[in-house]
Structure 1
Amino acid sequence: MNRVIAGATGLLATALVVVGCSSEKDSAPTPAPAAQQSVSTGSGTAVKVDGKDLPGLDLNSVSCVKQGGKITVGSAAIGGQQGLGIVMTDEATPKVESLGMFVDGNALSVSDTMGVKVGSAEVSVDGDTYTITGDAVGANLSNPMDGQINKPFTVTVSCS
């Protein structure tokens, strides 16, 4: 089971790095029509892990994008590592499809992909404000044999 968790965490971390390291030179995204895309940044954002602010995270860098039936929350890098990335469904009761964050140099994640569930997350909505709470799971990247890391988290973001 620990190998599955470590593998899933590694896969998510790799995906975050690939997305974060891509440049506009590599591919120029085509903007969606305004009716299909909504972007919000900064205001009313809070990210807590283990009850404390996520170290190194610039809350003004956190953005929320609604497009194509998905809600994507992302941030700038923290100490050279990807900071925060969340993908949710854009429904009346949103569901977290994946969440990745780097905490103290460790990649933590929540996912429910192809029958493999890692961590947990619940979403509550109040107007344009989304609050995601749960337990992210990962491994100590400097010593994967140390065992599983579990960290409770809360992310609050406005997304209009």
Structure 2
Amino acid sequence: MKRTIGFAVSALAVGALVAGCGSDSGSDDVSTNNAAAVVKVEGADLPGLDAGSVTCVKQNGKINIGSGAIDGQQGIGVVMSEGNPPKVDSLGVVVEGSALAVAPGAGSAEVAVDGDKYTITGTAVGADMKNPTAGMLEKKFEIVVECK
């Protein structure tokens, strides 16, 4: 059972990364910007992340934040529904071989908005991709990004 949950959370994390980096070019109501970001896991900067590579796309009531994979392995992806405050639909972060996610029933996330600055904090859960049978991981995260 733990193995199934680990693979499910890993799939959520990868899905959030893909969703966070993609956009639907068929809509006219799109606002995209590259914005320097702060991404921390357990209080430490996400290793190797080029904060300037983080993009934010607002489209059709959704806010997508994503970065490219770092060395083919590490990166972030967040999908939020616009609101006051926005709600995190899914979040994925891959760090040091661990795929971590927030999704319905897995992890937690809160969003604070100050003008164009979004601060997302919480706890992501996941698995060590090098040893998925080792059990579930929980790590605190913080993402701060400007999104216009």
What residue in structure 2 maps to residue 154 of structure 1?
Answer: 142
C-alpha displacement at 1:18, in angstroms? 6.0
After the TM superposition, which residues 16-31 of structure 1 pair with which residues of structure 2 at under 5 Å, given as runs? 30-31=25-26
Question: 1:17 touches 1:82 (CA, 8 Å); kept in 2?
Answer: no
After the TM superposition, which residues 1-160 of structure 1 pair with which residues of structure 2 at under 5 Å, given as runs? 2-3=2-3, 5-15=5-15, 30-33=25-28, 36-43=29-36, 45-112=37-104, 117-160=105-148
| CA deviation map 1:90-142 (0-9, x unaligned) | 11221100000111011100001xxxx11110000001110000001111111
Q: Which has the larger radius of gyration?
A: 1
Scaled by the length of structure 1, the TM-score of the pair is: 0.82
SS of residue matched to 2:11: helix
Q: Give the number of equivalent residue pairs.
A: 148
Q: Percent same amino acid at aligned positions?
A: 51
Cα distance in 2 for partners of 1:109, 1:47 equals 14
Q: Which runs of 5+ in 2 are unaligned?
A: none
| CA deviation map 1:19-53 (0-9, x unaligned) | 6999xxxxx953532xx21112123x111111010
Which structure has more relative contact order (CA 8 Å, sep 6+)? It is: 2
Question: 1:47 touches 1:153 (CA, 8 Å); kept in 2?
Answer: yes
C-alpha displacement at 1:8, in angstroms? 2.3
SS of residue matched to 1:60: helix
Q: Which runs of 5+ in 1 are unaligned?
A: 23-27
